[in-house]
Amino acid sequence: MCGIVALAGCDELAEPVLREALEALAHRGPDNAGEWTAPSGCAWLGHRRLSIVDLSPLGSQPMHNEDGSIWLVANGEIYNFPTLRPRLEALGHRFYSHSDNEAILHAYEAWGEGCVDHLQGMFAFVVWDESRRRLLAARDPLGIKPLYYAEDDGCLALASEAGALVKLLGEQPAPEPIALAYVLTLGYIPSPWAVWQGVHKLEPGHLLTWRPGQPAEVRKYWEPPRAITAHSAPTAEQFREQFEPVLKEHLLADVPVGLFLSGGLDSTSIAVGLRQIGQPVQSLTVGFPGSPQDEAPIAAATAAHLGLPHATVPLVIGDVDELLMRVAAAYDEPQGYSAPLTMFLLSEVTAARFKVALAGDGGDELFGGYTWYQGLGSPLGNRGRLGYRALRPLVRRSAAPWIRRQAARAFAGASALHRHAWRLFPRFLPEEAESLLAPLGICFSDQEMLEPFRSHFEPTLPLRRALQRVDLMTFCTDSILAKVDKASMAHSLEVRVPWLDRRIVDWALACATDPRDETESKSLLRDYLRPRVPADVLRRPKQGFSLRVLDNYDWAGAIETIRQGPWVRHGLWEKNWERLLEPGVPYREGRIWTLLCLTRWGQVWLK
């Protein structure tokens, strides 16, 4: 896993600026730094390396093809490299390293933009073709690895993190009001939005091309299935045939690989799969001593049952505010959840043992594990829509808490997507976000709020499957995976997510839904696990990943911190912002936490 920076078509920047941008990604790649300037002067590529496959200097980047006409910087792993390399060699391509990333170069030579269709893995990369004066950038289908870009006056800049990218833009841009509104209403910033004005995230399953004198062009090369093609629910044996070969490929590494093991079905299925393919790895669980939600005992019992070497690391959190500041410094884009704090601690303790860890992220989206997939048959109708429309003008003003509660109920009844958004992150209504951010000159309604969902919603699918598709390309990509990437790479740790392999996604979301999922989530995983794990694993209720210590948090102190923060002090929020936090408003503590996260982020990143 690595960090990349690229420039194309820019006036020559001073070397200290380029080095500063590259150095900002040192945590993503502490093992080596490399850079290359095109002979034409049209492009510059920079790379920070975390050595995982081919630990020799030959695996360093930027990489080049046989005649040096094509150069690459990449972040990620190409899991089908062992089968892709001989295919490319049969076409006449010569490899000089054993790095899986070199396959991207030769795949580009062989198939041009179509190279992405031959890559199975997680990746964000930039290829510069000197002979054609052409740049190609791409992001993996599920957006496991990030890629930010900005374009201005014929100059294109790209980087693995927005924090590194803005160093190339001269003055720091202003925060993007729409992005902040999404943090308030969804808890994260959906692609292609980014936290800074003029900066964008390349969307999952998209590629970008650029030539001198022409604007960048972005197009989609992959999306999840839009139809169910297998009309009967899959069996556990069919699942095993799909899953275990892919899992085996995810072990590609020249360093030890570990496993994040919780008490949940997703990571437990990975542990079982590793045992099935004869590749047990050491598992690791973080424990929260004294918490009724502590999953460490059940995870340890599962590991012992499967014969996996296992370690439990207890986490005792003394100062939540100090931890929140550390997380704010590591996350160049804010989120409104507490789960990033837990992920940050988990990554910290894991990085002391491994360079690579497998994780169960994505299982809830693929197999319908979230609680908000239950009760989808409850009626919606005009009553909710009309009630919400009537209350919106009141919410935009300093409404009393009971009006805000009424408006929240009406919002959740306005449509299936309104209900879904409120179940996922019940915090601020779009009118409240618009009111709070009014000094930034924003217009933000429920139409803007739900647009990321709407763009991935396929109405011809069963509602549960349609919402899984939405979550996969929004919440999973821009909240879950962003959380994992930023927390893990802050500690130079690579996290792999086998459930989000394109082949598993294509298969799982094209399968018919199982009627059992209406009353028992993830019935397919349960069938796979039932003969292989202790029964307690299947009986255990689903646990979230949020921080376990906020029950006794000092919420009054948090409001004071917000009051002294940069958004309030500099008049960037509406002066009556505290009306949004009055006792009696819906999900008051969640609202305070979200504003506190934005405040701590602003203290680190705003100038």
Q: What is the pLDDT of residues 221-249, one digit of tens each?
A: 999 999 999 878 899 999 999 999 999 99
From the list 131, 67, 118, the residue with the least C-alpha distance to 88 is: 118
Question: pLDDT tens digits, residue range 305-361?
Answer: 999 999 988 877 778 999 999 999 999 999 999 999 989 999 999 999 999 999 999
3-state SS track over 339-362: HHHHHHHHHHHHHCCCCEEECCCC
From the list 573, 458, 501, the residue with the least C-alpha distance to 121 is: 501
Whats the size of the chain, residue-wise?
A: 607
CATH label, 2-220, candidates 3.40.50.1010, 3.50.50.60, 3.60.20.10, 3.30.70.120: 3.60.20.10
From the list 306, 366, 352, the residue with the least C-alpha distance to 497 is: 366
What is the arithmetic mean of pLDDT over 445-458? Answer: 96
Query: Among 287-301, 353-367, 442-456, 590-604, which stretch is predicted with the lowest mean pLDDT?
Result: 287-301
Question: pLDDT tens digits, residue range 484-515?
Answer: 999 999 999 999 999 999 999 999 999 998 88
Question: pLDDT tens digits, residue range 139-156?
Answer: 999 999 999 999 998 899
From the list 51, 53, 45, 204, the residue with the least C-alpha distance to 122 is: 204
Question: pLDDT tens digits, residue range 404-414?
Answer: 999 999 999 99
From the list 369, 440, 375, the residue with the least C-alpha distance to 173 is: 440
Question: pLDDT tens digits, residue range 193-220?
Answer: 999 999 999 999 999 999 999 999 999 9
- pLDDT confidence of 516, banded at 50, 70, 90? confident
Instruction: Identify whether 62 is preceded by a cis peptide bond (ω within 30 of 0).
Output: yes
Question: pLDDT tens digits, residue range 383-406?
Answer: 667 788 888 888 887 789 999 999
Q: Would residue 405 be called left, alpha or beta, if left means φ above 0 and alpha means ψ between -120 and 50 degrees? A: alpha
- Rounded Cα distance between 19 and 14, Å, is 9
Q: Which helix (H) or strand (E) holds 85?
A: helix 81-90
Query: What percent of the chain clears pLDDT 90, i.e. is strictly above it?
Result: 80
Is the separation of the CB atoms in 396 and 435 below 8 Å? yes
- How high is the mean pLDDT of the chain? 93
CA separation (Å) from 148 to 4, 207, 270, 291, 379? 10, 12, 31, 39, 41
Domain 236-373+462-539 in the same topology as domain 2-220:
no
- pLDDT confidence of 420, banded at 50, 70, 90? very high
The answer on pLDDT for 38 being more than 90 is yes
Write down the H helix ranges in 257-400.
Answer: 265-276, 296-306, 320-330, 339-351, 363-367, 382-396
Question: pLDDT tens digits, residue range 159-181?
Answer: 999 999 999 988 889 999 999 99
pLDDT of res. 381:
64
Is the separation of the CB atoms in 446 and 456 below 8 Å? no
- Rounded Cα distance between 327 and 306, Å, is 34
**Which residues does residue 48 pair with via DSSP β-bridges, in sequence order?**
3, 33
Tell me how far the alpha carbon of residue 568 is from its chain's centroid.
29
Q: Where are the domains of the chain?
A: 2-220, 236-373+462-539
End-to-end CA distance of the chain: 30
pLDDT of res. 334:
97
pLDDT of res. 540:
73
Residue tagged 């609202």 (tokens) = 591
Q: What are phi and psi of 167, to 5 degrees?
A: -65, -20
Residue tagged 């602003």 (tokens) = 602
- Rounded Cα distance between 480 and 122, Å, is 15
Question: pLDDT tens digits, residue range 103-129?
Answer: 999 999 999 999 999 999 999 999 999
- Domain covering 236-373+462-539, topology: Rossmann fold (3.40.50)
Token pair in block for residue 548: 């376990």
Supply the pTM of this predicted model.
0.95
- Rounded Cα distance between 162 and 133, Å, is 25
Taking every pair of Cα atoms in the chain, the longest distance, rounded to a whole number of angstroms, is 72
Instruction: Identify whether 192 is preceded by a cis peptide bond (ω within 30 of 0).
Output: yes
From the list 335, 22, 401, the residue with the least C-alpha distance to 180 is: 335
Reported for 447-456, long-range contacts at CB under 8 A and 24+ positions apart, including other chains, are: 448/178, 448/181, 449/181, 449/182, 449/185, 449/186, 449/421, 450/417, 450/418, 450/421, 452/182, 452/186, 452/190, 452/191, 453/417, 453/420, 453/421, 454/417, 456/223, 456/224
